[in-house]
Chains A and B, each alone.
Chain A
Amino acid sequence: MTRDSRRVQHRVITSEELRADVDRVLAEERMTFDRFVELGRSDELENPRLRDLWLLAGAILVGA
């Protein structure tokens, strides 16, 4: 194993895993998934945590 390969960990991520993470954060931020998608699509999420969540996971989940 090379030095670099030890520092890059590969894995597969599932929609179920992403959705569980999104739901957990949305529960903490008191937002529904539908509202999250609506605001994410129109780029109106103001909470930086939710912006990251949309850009990272939400867009994969809804194919945006």
Chain B
Amino acid sequence: MSAADLSRIQGALAPWLTGSRLASDTRLDMETPAENLLAAVTAFRGLAWGYLSAITGLDGLGPAAGPSASEAAPGGAPAQGSASQHGTLGSIEVLYQFCQGPCLATLRVRVPRDRAEVPSISGAVPSAVLFERELSEMLGVHVTGLPGGKRQFLPDDWPPNVFPLRKDFLVESAAPVADSAPSVGSGEAPGTFIVPIGPQHPALKEPGHFEFAVDGEIITGASIRLGYVHRGIEKAAEDRSWVQGLYLVERICGICSHIHATAYALGVEALAGMTIPPRGQAIRTLLCELERIHSHLLWLGVAAHEAGFDTLFMFSWRDRETVMDLLEQLTGNRVNYAANLIGGVKYEIDAPAADAIRRGMDYLEGRARHYLKIVTTDESFLRRTRGVGTISREMSERFGTVGPTARASGVPTDLRAAAPYAAYGQFPVTPVVDQRCDQEARFVVRVRELSECFRVVREILDRLPPGDLSIPAPRKVAEGEAVSRVEAPRGELFYYLRSTGGVKPDRVKVRTPSLCNWAAVVNVVIGQKLADVPVILAGIDPCFSCNDRSLTLRRRGKTGAGGVETWSWEDLRTYGIRWYGGGRS
């Protein structure tokens, strides 16, 4: 692992690189011109190392000073206003971030702003499709050869050639375009019957829009349109101070708010070179685990509800209140705890609080055992989960699933163990893996993870380090870039932060776990029964608000043809099927 591996990569890719550098034992930076990108990525995949974690686009860099102008030297004040529309100034850099364990290998491609174009790497890395679509919509980097030309993230009436994440983007320029005929009804070929799900649909507590072509009860095609909850948080973060950003990212998702804030804080702290007191880190970790408990119980209920098992929904939500009470007792809030500071945490855990938590864990432990029994033995429930929505390990790796979805397919990926952050170094976690790959496995993994959470919480309480909770944070953060990866309840959460030394971030890139899991789901749903769709969708615990920080999804079309305004999931699917070597269709 680590340094040796990274040098091996450096060597293997050398023919295509124009510069490379081992920034540390776990960081490798490589530069390649756009024309070599595909070859380099293909060679990279040949090494069978790691997975594509994110594709980040940066704007506002200095002029491309030749291919070897290596380390991110931010090009002074970013060009603002219409002057730079002509694109003579500056360049855009696209970062392909591959990860394995704690290691991060970045392929950097710098392209001129006025001719921003990179080849699609989705041929070599199928999971890149959504990342590339996001890149092209948000930053205006044309990705040649990207399957499916329809919009996924931005609204239909968004003007062409306006890209919100460009530095010279003005809100006024995004005024709705009048002649943007929404592509209603375009998706129904003769002879197919389309069932729309979303954006307002009981199976989705959040808006997302899916369309399933059905033959009787069997799904023959699937497409998805994201973007209903796209709020533009990445852009908004660039206009807020480092501290304000903390509260903004907390509101990316109300279910996993603490983990977003943690990832962001860890990133900023790394940039600023701060060392957080161990007690602060331990309490931060404890809250992460409590949040995971609440999130998994919530998921258990929602997934059971999707399978029409309302009693289990009611019971798990009743028990979830136990952990909600604890979170409220600790932080004063049930959701959006605002517990993180840049430099530590706000809230202390005293002896009575610790006792209350222990009691809560004891109670929930018993309940978790009960739920494990239900999800593995209840006949009627197993009929809906066993053998349903199987994502094989190979498929899971190809499509880059993360978190419990991947672990239920036998992929032992858990950043808490593989790349311990915060206090996970002192309080190690064992990944819960299941080989069965189906819906039942996803239930089992999440419920068994609860037990792991209880153990970690108790351990932290028993060995809570003494000392301060936090240290003061600087107003300005040193120039540089940082990648922060944490294990959210739904899987790997990726933050890329870039500072130009000011009071505001230059770029905050968030790649949420749900985005990684879509591709696998859309492939797996074909050939399944309509009745199983909600269960399978719920199986990955999709979080649209995470997903759609810059996307939006929508709800069901009620009358007739309904809105068929689809980012072609179909394209991705055919693509995936082709890649997957035939398969069902």
**A and B interact physically:** no
A residues lining the B interface (CB < 8 Å): none
Interface residues of B (CB under 8 A from A): none
